[in-house]
Structure 1
């Protein structure tokens, strides 16, 4: 499939108690999109207890209720999406100006799946260094904060996100894509929030993320990864999101 005038993008955002960010990201998407090919913005809500759903609807997003779990939420959004291209985005990750056209240009060049490079919203030199590695086109350097675009058919042929994963679902899915397809890292940057690093501490959080990568590499399953995450990260953070 090559994009033409009818090619459209469905943006899928999993949310849970994101009232502080959801309005900002939806306004941002409106301001930086450069084409009329955004078919819809779908916010899949995992049971928010704040004003997330109300704010999302106010900004024109389609809100779908779901059970909690980012993999489950994103799969549900993909099932109901109408666009030929799916763009998975976190509520605190802000795409570059003209992101939609950049995605469609990549699709024209036969890149069926890909992401952007990433920067954090901080000048912390260590986090800037970590973000620098997002330019490297290797599965070890991938993560959900870089966003993900993929042709809808390819997403469904690969069975979407593995819902057994309560965390790490983005990386697990992208790693599967790397094994069989060319994955494109676009040179433009998304800006993602460092809020969890501020909550937990950048050194502690990055160490535990590295341990999760290592555990996965050594064959740990989704339950072991989540148990480690819960014990070492979740219990040290007041942030409540869809994972």
Structure 2
């Protein structure tokens, strides 16, 4: 079977929501031949257990989103790799939108517009600011469902093995190579749960501060201490810091 798209989902204690994500992908987001790979960084592999009987490729991995996404990419067969956070939903027909955009052979990949699943005006403002930043820098966040041609991803050597900022680091390398990417108008809808758990402005100001420190050279390993550990979050809540 010729697989055009591989959807790679890093997960950690997502057993409560992973089946709904897979159902969303197969019923709404994917219309062409695609494969779904779920990479579980939990040693107990509870997310993979929840997926028994589903038509997905289940992969165990060491914890760490970069490591998990690289592990998924190593087993993927698609011509295009889409990296999807477990708390994010794609727009209907996302694969068709991607392949329509990639008819332009100059493009190496891209991402969707960011939307946050909440009616709160503050979160709408945060999403708008993130989309403006992405338009100006051409460096999308991981929450925007980054996709890359396999050949480009392999030439880059995959994600750097760092504990956070792996998505920005990867896309900055794309920008340094002057490879063009597309920013689609359609939105990837990400959960508001991390803002709800930590507080909207506490979470946002922390994220902005950490990204500023990273921009000025602070190491991801040192910045990791500003984020809660997986054990401090409710079961099923996202343990990864936002990219």
User: How is 1:97-108 mapped onto 2 (pairs within 5 angstroms)?
Assistant: 97-108=92-103
Spell out the pairing of 1:98-177 with structure 2 (5 A cutoff).
98-110=93-105, 111-136=107-132, 137-139=135-137, 142-163=140-161, 165-177=162-174
How many residue pairs were aligned? 235
Residues 81-137 of structure 1 show CA distances to partners (whole Å, capped at 9, x for unaligned) of 101100000111000000000011111123211100011110111110111134332
Query: 5 Å matches for 1:1-243?
Result: 6=2, 8-38=4-34, 40-47=35-42, 49=44, 51-110=46-105, 111-136=107-132, 137-139=135-137, 142-163=140-161, 165-180=162-177, 181-230=179-228, 237-238=233-234, 239=237, 241=239
- Of residues 79-88 and 47-56 in structure 1, the stretch that sits farther from structure 2 once superposed is 47-56
Q: How big is the shift at 1:35? A: 2.8
Write the distance in 2 (CA, Å) between the matches of 1:201 and 1:140.
28
| 2:32 and 2:95 in contact (8 A); partners too | no
- Please report how far the alpha carbon of residue 18 of structure 1 lies from its aligned counterpart in structure 2 after TM superposition: 0.2
CA contact (8 A) 1:16 1:48 kept: no
Kindly indicate whether the alpha-carbon contact (under 8 Å) linking 1:44 and 1:66 is maintained by their aligned counterparts in 2.
Answer: yes
Stretch moving more, 188-197 or 109-118: 109-118
Q: Which moved more, 1:50-59 or 1:61-70?
A: 50-59
Question: CA separation in 1, counterparts of 2:13 and 2:230?
Answer: 15
Distance change in 2, residues 1:86/1:50 (3 Å): closer
Change (3 A) 1:141 1:162: closer
Relative distance call for 1:192 and 1:50 in structure 2 (3 A) is same
TM-score, normalized by length of structure 2? 0.89
Shift of 1:184: 1.2
Shift in Å at residue 156 of structure 1? 0.9
Deviation at residue 177 of structure 1 after TM alignment: 1.2
| 4+ aligned runs moved over 4 Å, structure 1 | 233-237
Secondary structure (helix, strand or coil) at the match of 1:58 reads coil
3-state SS of 1:120 partner: strand
Which ranges of structure 2 fall in alignment gaps of 5 or more residues?
none
SS of residue in 1 equivalent to 2:38:
strand
Q: TM-score, normalised by structure 1?
A: 0.89
Indicate if the aligned counterparts of 1:56 and 1:62 stay in contact, CA closer than 8 A.
no
Measured after TM superposition, the shift of residue 234 of structure 1 is 6.9
* C-alpha separation in 1, matches of 2:43 and 2:136: 34
The CA RMSD over aligned residues, in Å, is: 2.2
